């Protein structure tokens, strides 16, 4: 059982989305405005569909905070679905007398078939509502809380788009993050932005969709989060599971990732440099091919995670499929959808990394209050210098 526990509930076209978070220390400053920026970022990005014109996502804090400070009790969040107004009958909670048209045309690439078989449904609507990526709105709200906690200790999160379809970025060594946020596809260069926008336009014209790759970077994580002692405590294992739990994410790599498989060890492993109190860190590496994680633990270097996102499977020109009732060939059901979600997906990936890192932070440092947490972090950080540089033990 982790220290930062959370659950989400809600359907894509239901009344709204709920999240409950347990384990936050008392005294953490937290307001709804702290969560608003990432919710807005998630709704942006070139290639998004009509749903984003309806929703204006904002997380309301309904429990666990008083006068802007957490109480140490569970924090509850609520995000309204504005589109619920158009679905009050189809998604009613109470029994209804009206006959509702069932969804039986299965969509390749979705949870439709496996979900209907698993739960014995004859209406795919029961599957697609919860399997929808709309649920990631709640995750981003929870991630905003996790970021707020880690932000107290100088941990920061960034993401950018590496590719959309065949359009690839060649990001500079030093990325201008303000330029990334200004790009409609969240790419690091103007040339990449232009190529990616053109690729999305081409897919939209063809009634198709595009996936791509993105990268998340986390700065300010000290060495020692995670553990090598059991498989389920390894930090990279936990982060990989979190990333692959996001809708449409099909691959994850750390640092050099798959590129390191073709290189000799002498070119891959990160040489540890002699002691130098650099930016407050006593330990540094000459490179960061490991992506800030070795042996299942953070090294103190920037955590770098690369993710592969498949194309959205709901196509304006539907693929051939099968009807759940008859087994006969039909065209797949079409539900309003996006052309490309890669730019927004980076924000969701940031959230999931923040959630896992917040949990690991609380597991390692503990504390019922923010002040206790600060003291525990400071105590640990004071032990990290080589013995000869610590003074008297």
pLDDT tens for 1-12 read 459 999 999 999
- For the cut 90, the answer to whether the pLDDT of residue 56 exceeds it is no
Bigger pLDDT: 80 or 385?
Answer: 80
Q: Which of 19-33, 150-164, 271-285 has the lowest mean pLDDT?
A: 271-285
Digit-coded pLDDT (tens) for 255-270: 999 999 999 999 999 9
- For the cut 70, the answer to whether the pLDDT of residue 391 exceeds it is no
User: What average pLDDT score do residues 110-137 get?
Assistant: 96
User: What average pLDDT score do residues 142-169 get?
Assistant: 97
Q: List the structure tokens of 380.
A: 């640990």
Quickly list H helices, 215-341.
235-244, 265-268
E strands, the chain, in order: 5-9, 16-22, 59-63, 65-66, 69-70, 75-80, 156-164, 167-168, 212-219, 249-254, 293-294, 297-298, 303-309, 320-322, 329-331
How high is the pLDDT of residue 153? Answer: 97
How high is the pLDDT of residue 386? Answer: 87
Which residues fall within 8 angstroms of residue 330, CB to CB, at 6 or more apart?
A: 105, 320, 321, 322, 323
How high is the pLDDT of residue 1? Answer: 43
CA distance 177 to 169: 14
CA distance 197 to 212: 13
- For the cut 70, the answer to whether the pLDDT of residue 292 exceeds it is yes
- CA distance readout (Å), 372 to 328, 361, 375, 377: 63, 13, 5, 9
Digit-coded pLDDT (tens) for 161-213: 999 999 999 999 899 999 999 999 999 999 999 999 999 999 999 999 999 99
- For the cut 50, the answer to whether the pLDDT of residue 64 exceeds it is yes
Digit-coded pLDDT (tens) for 208-250: 999 999 999 999 999 999 999 999 999 999 999 999 999 999 9
- For the cut 80, the answer to whether the pLDDT of residue 392 exceeds it is no
* Mean pLDDT, the chain, whole residue set: 93
What class has domain 5-389? alpha beta
How high is the pLDDT of residue 49? Answer: 66
User: What average pLDDT score do residues 85-90 get?
Assistant: 92
User: What's the number of CA atoms in the CB half-sphere (13 Å) around residue 362?
Assistant: 24
- For the cut 90, the answer to whether the pLDDT of residue 279 exceeds it is no
User: What average pLDDT score do residues 109-134 get?
Assistant: 96
């Amino acid at each position: 059982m982790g220290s930062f526990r959370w659950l989400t509930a809600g359907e894509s076209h239901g009344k709204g989305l709920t999240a409950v978070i347990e384990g936050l220390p008392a005294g953490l400053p937290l307001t709804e405005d702290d969560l608003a920026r990432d919710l807005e970022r998630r709704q942006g990005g070139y290639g998004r569909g009509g749903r984003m014109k309806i929703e204006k996502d904002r997380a309301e804090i309904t429990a666990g905070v008083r006068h802007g400070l957490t109480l140490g009790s569970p924090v509850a969040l609520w995000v309204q679905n504005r589109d619920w107004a158009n679905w009050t009958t189809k998604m009613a909670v109470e029994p209804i007398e009206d006959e509702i048209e069932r969804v039986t045309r299965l969509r390749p690439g979705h949870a439709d078939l496996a979900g209907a078989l698993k739960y014995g449904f004859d209406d795919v609507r029961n599957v697609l509502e919860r399997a929808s990526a709309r649920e990631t709105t709640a995750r981003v709200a929870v991630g905003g809380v996790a970021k707020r906690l880690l932000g107290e200790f100088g941990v920061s999160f960034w993401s950018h788009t590496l590719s959309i379809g065949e359009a690839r970025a060649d990001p500079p060594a030093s990325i201008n993050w303000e330029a990334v946020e200004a790009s409609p596809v969240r790419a690091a260069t103007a040339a990449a932005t232009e190529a990616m926008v053109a690729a999305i336009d081409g897919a939209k014209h063809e009634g198709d969709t595009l996936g791509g790759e993105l990268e998340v970077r986390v700065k300010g994580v000290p060495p020692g989060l995670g553990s090598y002692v059991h498989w389920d405590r390894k930090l990279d294992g936990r982060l990989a599971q979190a990333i692959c739990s996001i809708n449409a994410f099909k691959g994850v790599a750390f640092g050099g990732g798959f590129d390191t498989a073709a290189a000799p060890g002498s070119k891959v492993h990160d040489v540890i440099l002699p002691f130098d109190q650099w930016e407050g860190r006593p330990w540094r590496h000459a490179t960061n091919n490991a992506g800030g994680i070795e042996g299942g633990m953070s090294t103190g270097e920037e955590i770098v995670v690369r993710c592969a996102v498949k194309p959205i499977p709901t196509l304006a020109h539907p693929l051939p499929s099968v009807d759940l009732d008859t087994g006969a060939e039909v065209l797949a059901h079409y539900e309003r959808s996006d052309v490309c979600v890669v730019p927004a997906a980076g924000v969701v990936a940031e959230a999931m990394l923040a959630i896992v890192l917040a949990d690991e932070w609380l597991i390692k440092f503990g504390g019922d209050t923010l002040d206790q947490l600060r003291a525990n972090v400071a105590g640990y950080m004071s032990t990290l210098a080589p013995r000869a540089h610590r003074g008297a033990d």
